[in-house]
């Protein structure tokens, strides 16, 4: 369980706590108290904390349990490399790349909740999946929905895939109102309970742009065949359109435990007390096109995918830096997309073939984005 203390992680732990699983390892970034609580509940063999300075505190918190403790980036990779059949990859951002690759390289079933892994290193990651025989199961509600209705055996009959987007908390805001929104407003998603970074990405619609890139790699679909529609109710999680006019959709209440449970039990299904969807009570479902003038992040992501090479890596790195700057009060909400666009215009777009290539371009883009923000 990579990233057990985040929003996806805690939802996963709630399912694992129902019993029937042997837990090999848990990891977290810096939340020692929650990681120790989860470890005492699930009794893994190994726990790892990314922040090395937290090692002593975690070691003390788990004293007497017999649980092995590690710290630092290498410990996260060690956790991923341990002999578990199923791995939840839920570390936020590009920090999850090396541990996720470690799990893929040993041929595990990897439930991928970290879209940035495929955004910044899609070609490298998918090549490793093919070489190792690993199984990649998408956890994002949209990609999980597509996975459930995508006829892999009948791929040539797929006309396009359709990603739905709630539009976030500012879908009806004009530019002037968006210019003055606060981080607290941006993380208050109307439908989903998510971490801060993904909530802000949802508010800018960069999240949907990243999902377009992720869908391209997962389903081998060209960018023009990946459509995005706004769907404020977040009930239709995504759709696949076929050449005969059929459109298959996956529906459900907005609860991340549902796609997590699907990957946990795959190819079966896991029974748990999920909120049931009541269509009659819902009354109506609405859809409309996204506004790329107010939300340019979606346009930038499509352009990055079209450019190829290291451009998506640059997009992702600049976005992570800009989101951090916004959360710290150093830039405004509209400056997030502006910083990404300016970084894309000033950095090299070299093709990437190895993990070292990815990390080099990622670091370069972060430096460029910070410079643009005056840091």
Work out the mean pLDDT of the chain and round it to a whole number.
Answer: 94
Residue 102 sits in which domain range? 7-138
User: Quick one: 299 and 170 in the same domain?
Assistant: yes
CB 257 within 8 A of CB 275: no
Tens of pLDDT along 215-259? 999 999 999 999 999 999 999 999 999 999 999 999 999 899 999
Read off the pLDDT band of 94 (50, 70, 90). confident
User: Quick one: 116 and 19 in the same domain?
Assistant: yes
Closest by CA to 215, choosing from 181, 199, 239, is 239
Q: Work out the percent of the chain whose per-residue pLDDT is above 70.
A: 99
User: Quick one: 114 and 208 in the same domain?
Assistant: no
Contacts of 94 (CB under 8 A, 6+ apart): 116, 117, 120, 316, 317, 320, 362
User: What is the side-by-side order of every strand in the sheet holding 109-112?
Assistant: 86-89, 109-112, 135-138
Tens of pLDDT along 29-55? 999 999 999 999 999 999 999 999 999
276 by DSSP, 3-state: which? coil
Q: Check whether 349 has a pLDDT greater than 90.
A: no
Q: What is the pLDDT of residue 192?
A: 63
Distance CA 38, CA 17 (A): 9
CB 255 within 8 A of CB 190: no
Within a domain: 244: yes
Q: Check whether 20 has a pLDDT greater than 90.
A: no
User: Quick one: 115 and 180 in the same domain?
Assistant: no
User: Quick one: 174 and 303 in the same domain?
Assistant: yes
Tens of pLDDT along 125-175? 999 999 999 999 999 999 999 999 999 999 999 999 999 999 888 999 999
- Domain of 11, CATH number, reads 3.40.50.720
Within a domain: 150: no
Within a domain: 279: no
Taking CA atoms, 11 is separated from 8, 52, 195, 290, 320, in Å, by 5, 25, 12, 29, 23
Tens of pLDDT along 145-157? 999 999 999 999 9
Distance CA 162, CA 245 (A): 14
Average pLDDT of 51-75?
A: 97
Q: Structural domain tally of the chain?
A: 2
Report residue 298 CA to chain centroid gap: 16
Within a domain: 342: no
Which residue's structure tokens are 């609860």?
255
Which residue's structure tokens are 């499509």?
302
Relative orientation angle of helices 311-327 and 355-372, to the nearest 10 degrees: 40
Tens of pLDDT along 105-115? 999 999 999 88
User: Quick one: 126 and 175 in the same domain?
Assistant: no
Q: What is the pLDDT of residue 262?
A: 97
Q: What is the pLDDT of residue 335?
A: 97
| 96: Cα within 13 Å, side-chain hemisphere | 30
Within a domain: 226: yes
User: Quick one: 298 and 165 in the same domain?
Assistant: yes
**How many beta carbons lie within 10 A of that of residue 131, not counting itself?**
11
User: Quick one: 18 and 100 in the same domain?
Assistant: yes
Within a domain: 102: yes
Contacts of 87 (CB under 8 A, 6+ apart): 1, 2, 80, 100, 103, 108, 109, 110, 111
Within a domain: 344: no
User: What is the side-by-side order of every strand in the sheet holding 25-28?
Assistant: 25-28, 46-49, 68-71
**pTM listed for this prediction:** 0.93
The helix or strand, by DSSP H or E, that contains position 47, with its residue range, turns out to be strand 46-49
Q: What is the pLDDT of residue 92?
A: 85
CB 357 within 8 A of CB 227: no
User: Quick one: 241 and 294 in the same domain?
Assistant: yes
Within a domain: 153: no
């Amino acid at each position: 369980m990579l990233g057990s203390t985040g929003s996806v992680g805690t939802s996963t732990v709630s399912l694992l706590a129902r019993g029937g699983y042997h837990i090999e390892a848990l990891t977290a970034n810096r939340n020692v108290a929650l990681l120790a609580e989860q470890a005492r509940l699930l009794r893994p063999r190994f726990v790892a904390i990314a922040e090395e300075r937290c090692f002593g505190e975690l070691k003390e918190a788990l004293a007497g349990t017999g649980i092995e403790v590690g710290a630092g980036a290498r410990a996260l990779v060690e956790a991923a490399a341990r002999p578990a059949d199923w791995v939840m990859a839920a570390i936020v951002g590009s920090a999850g790349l090396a541990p996720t690759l470690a799990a893929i390289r040993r041929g595990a079933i990897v439930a991928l909740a970290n879209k940035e892994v495929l955004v910044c290193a899609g070609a490298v990651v998918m090549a490793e999946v093919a070489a190792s025989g690993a199984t990649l199961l998408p956890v994002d509600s949209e990609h999980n929905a597509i996975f459930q209705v995508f006829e892999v055996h009948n791929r040539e009959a797929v006309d396009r895939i359709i990603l739905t987007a709630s539009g976030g908390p500012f879908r009806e805001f004009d530019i002037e109102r968006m210019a003055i929104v606060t981080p607290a407003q941006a993380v208050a998603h109307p439908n989903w309970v998510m971490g801060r970074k993904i909530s802000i990405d949802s508010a800018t619609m960069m999240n949907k742009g990243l999902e377009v890139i992720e869908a391209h790699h997962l389903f081998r679909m060209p960018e023009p065949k990946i459509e995005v529609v706004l769907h404020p109710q977040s009930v239709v999680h995504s759709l696949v359109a076929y050449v005969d006019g059929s459109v298959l959709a996956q529906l459900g209440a907005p609860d991340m435990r549902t796609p997590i449970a699907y990957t946990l039990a795959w190819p079966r299904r896991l029974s748990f007390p999920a909120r049931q969807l009541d269509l009659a009570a819902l009354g109506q479902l609405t859809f409309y096109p996204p506004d790329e003038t107010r939300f340019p992040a979606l346009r930038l992501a499509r352009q990055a995918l079209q450019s190829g090479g290291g451009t998506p890596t640059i997009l992702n790195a600049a976005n992570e830096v800009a989101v951090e700057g916004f959360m710290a009060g150093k830039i405004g909400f509209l400056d997030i997309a502006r910083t990404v666009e300016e970084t894309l215009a000033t950095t090299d777009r070299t093709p990437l073939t190895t993990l070292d290539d990815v990390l080099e371009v990622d670091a370069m883009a972060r430096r460029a984005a910070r410079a643009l923000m005056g840091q």
